[in-house]
Amino acid sequence: MSQAPSESPSSSGAGADPRLDALRTWLNGRLPTLLDEHRVPGAAVAVSVGDAVIDVAAGVLSKRTGVEATPDSVFQIGSITKVWTTTLAMQLVDEGKLALDAPVRDYLPDFALADGAAAAAITVRQLMCHVSGFEGDIFTDTGVGDDCLEKFVATLGDAPQLFAPGERFSYNNAGYCVLGRIVEVLREKSYDACLRDHLFAPLGLAHAATSPYEAILHRAAVGHIQAAPDAGFEPAPAWALPRSNAPAGAMLAMRPRDLLAFARMHLADGLGPDGTRVLGAESARAMREHQTDVPYLGLMGDEWGLGWEIFDWPGGTVVGHDGGTLGQSAFLRAVPGQDVVVAVLTNGGEPLGVYEEIVGHVLRELAAVEPPPLPVPAPDAPRIDAARYVGTYSSSAADTVVSQDAEGRIWAERTPKGIFAQFGPPERIELAAAREDALIAVERRHGMYQIHSFVGDDGDGHALFLHTGRADRRVAP
């Protein structure tokens, strides 16, 4: 059983809004049960309405040590870091040092990809909204020195181009490393120093860490993973991904209330908690504006802004981002105009169930927003002709073969490659019809029924890409 919840003695202003007092009571009663139901070792949650903040934690930071999770514990926020990286870049836009529609090579003259013309054309804006078109699941470890990001960007010369810059959305971690390197060059300091000087300091964050060396000074969560699909969740063998991927989300860690301080600054159009101008109002608003549409994927946003995901939900528009590292998962949602923010930080298990219930409850109660449920397969899904989808799709992360058997059942066999091969064996997943050009897994894995969207056309009536957040290109019929 999960340990009893704890709440921060510094929770502020809850009494000013009785809804937050009721919410804290609900969280104290529900969070430990949710962790048990979804095999999550520990979690911390923070919610704010205006300046009023509550935070609650339950469970343990590590099953090995049994140390209790508290609201002051620091968890990794994973890819939510991308919004921080975008904010650092937009500060430079405010200062006139960076132009969104300028080519990356204006700032990084040696930036190279396998497609030289694409490398010359890609803009800063395209990096921010994942439309640069080059393959982005690249996690080369270039050491822990302050030059690791410079070295990482220099390794991208053979990264293949999936589509022309600006053509479509495909989530790109490496693109954010390039953006982080631009920040370094223009600031003439390391990415970590940029975070500390230009965001941590003006936001007054005292429990945020840019590395394991800083995280260990706090009560730090450890990620938990499975060695096999039917095994229990145990502490991960490493705490963080390579530092060279820091701008994409390799190791930034903090308390949930610190993450709220960052999001509340954005909702205040760039003003920090003490009135300090952290980001220009125009830049803060621009980050929340539509830049590109996203294929139907179930969990991801409907659109992407500059850094932010945008969710078009019943009751209002929500911005946010999710993050996942080695056994840690983080979820952030904010409602512009309602001044409501919720953060859920976890360290293993199947956290989507925890996210779905807590975020759904918070947004319904405080913002009258109704997050749609995660997709599930219809029990009476019809058999369809999958000829448009059948084929082999490939990236540096995996090869996926989509086939249809004599009974009309559709299968996706995914074989991880490279660094991803160590995270699990090949998987064979049955798919069913979900909506036009989208199939859904028949069995739940990793806490959800994954959507497989098929986009584009190869000229012969076949889908050009299998899209699961990343666009894997068709390589064989």
Tokens of 206: 């005292």
Which is it for strands 398-404 and 75-76: parallel, antiparallel or unpaired? unpaired
Predicted confidence (pLDDT) per residue in 7-29, tens digit: 765 455 555 688 999 999 999 99
For the four alpha carbons of 227, 228, 229 and 231, in that order, the dihedral sign comes to negative
Residue 10: per-residue pLDDT: 47
pLDDT at res. 261: 98
In the beta sheet, which residues pair with residue 316? 313
pLDDT, tens digit, for every residue of 435-473?
Answer: 999 999 999 988 899 999 999 999 999 999 999 999 999
**pLDDT on residue 376:** 96
With contact defined as beta carbons under 8 Å apart, do 224 and 63 qualify? yes
Tokens coding 73: 């514990």
Which of 6, 62, 79, 190 is labelled catalytic? 79
Closest by Cα among 6, 376, 447, 466 to 226: 447
Work out the average pLDDT over 176-203: 98
**Token output for 422:** 């160590």
Residues 466, 477: Cα–Cα separation, whole Å: 13
pTM, to two decimals: 0.95
Distance CA 445, CA 429 (A): 9
| Residue 12 bears catalytic tag | no
Lowest mean per-residue pLDDT among 3-12, 329-338, 404-413: 3-12
Which pLDDT belongs to residue 17? 80
Q: How high is the pLDDT of residue 2?
A: 57
What is the pLDDT confidence band of residue 429, given thresholds at 50, 70 and 90? very high
Mean pLDDT over residues 219-246, rounded?
A: 92
Average pLDDT over the chain, rounded to an integer: 95
Amino acid 312: pLDDT: 96
pLDDT at 276 over 90: yes
HSE (side-chain half, CA atoms, 13 Å) at 277: 8
Distance of alpha carbon 262 from its chain centroid, rounded?
Answer: 16
Give the least confident one: 231-240, 327-336, 344-353: 231-240
- Does 355 score more than 60 pLDDT? yes
* Tokens read off for 175: 């693109």
Measure the CA–CA gap between 219 and 201, rounded to whole angstroms: 20
% of the chain residues with pLDDT over 70: 96
User: What pLDDT is stored for residue 3 in this prediction?
Assistant: 61
Q: What is the mean pLDDT of residues 76-104?
A: 98
Report how far apart, in Å, the C-alpha atoms of 125 and of each of 26, 121, 184 are.
41, 11, 17
Strand pairing partners for 412? 402, 429
Contact 70, 77 (CB under 8 A): no
What's the rounded Cα separation, in Å, for the pair 147 and 477? 43
| Nearest-angstrom CA–CA distance, 432 and 378 | 8
pLDDT tens profile 27-77: 999 999 999 999 999 999 999 999 999 999 999 999 999 999 999 999 999
In the chain, the domains with their CATH numbers are: 1-374 (3.40.710.10), 391-476 (2.40.128.50)
